[in-house]
Structures are given as structure tokens and as C-alpha cells.
Amino acid sequence: MKGADAEARAATHLQSLGREVIYRNYRIRGGEIDLVSREPSGTLVFTEVRQRRSCRYGSAAESITPRKLSLMHRAALNYLVRECGRDDLPCRLEVLTIDGPADSGVLRIIPLDA
């Protein structure tokens, strides 16, 4: 599965930050959230994982398009309504990037303004 190694490393990293990973690959028509986690405070975090083995075509962060952000926002809202029964829970979006190999590349979390 493409991206599975990067997503597994991302999930492990989020857990090391004290988060509970509660859903992987939440899919709706036209969109997906790679990881849904919960912080100890109860805040839900929707994480898009991006990995680039080389910088030939730009960094992992540069691969996030406005369209992807829009689809991510839509999928997160869908998750809140469908899985939690409401859309006013504390939550946020972020991108976790890995530049280099999935198992050893540089990892960075980029918070997104919703």
C-alpha cells in the first residue's frame, strides 16, 4: 500500500506525543483523512501525512494543494458529524511531513488554520 510506511511512522510519532490514534484512513467520497487522533485534552486532530523520498519535485509540504486542504476540511467535518454526532467539538487540522525515507526522513508537523 502506497504511503503505509509513512502513515505508520506518523501514527507512532503522534502516540509518542501522548495522542491516541482513533482512526486511520477515514474516507468519504472525494476525500480522506490519513489519521485522526485525540490529545489528552480531548481535542481531535485530523492529520494528513505527506512523504517525499527526494526533493527533486519539491518538499513534502509543497505537495499540499488548496484543493487537498479543502477536501481535508470537508472530510474532517464529515467525520465530526458522522462519528461524533456534532460539528462543534474542539479540533484542528495539520499536515505531518516526512522528507526522505519513510523510516528515517525528517519529520515535521505543520498546523493548519481552519
Predicted confidence at residue 72, as pLDDT, reads 93
Predicted confidence at residue 38, as pLDDT, reads 98
- State the average pLDDT over residues 49-69: 88
In Å, what is the CA distance from 73 to each residue of 13, 52, 69, 94, 106?
22, 23, 6, 10, 25
Q: How many structural domains does the chain have?
A: 1
**Tens of pLDDT, residues 23-44:** 999 999 988 999 999 999 999 9
CATH number at residue 41: 3.40.1350.10
The domain of 108 spans: 4-112
Identify whether the C-beta of residue 12 lies closer than 8 Å to the C-beta of residue 106. no
Looking at the predicted structure, is the pLDDT value of residue 113 above 80?
no
Least confident of 19-33, 34-48, 54-68, 71-85: 54-68
- State the average pLDDT over residues 44-55: 92
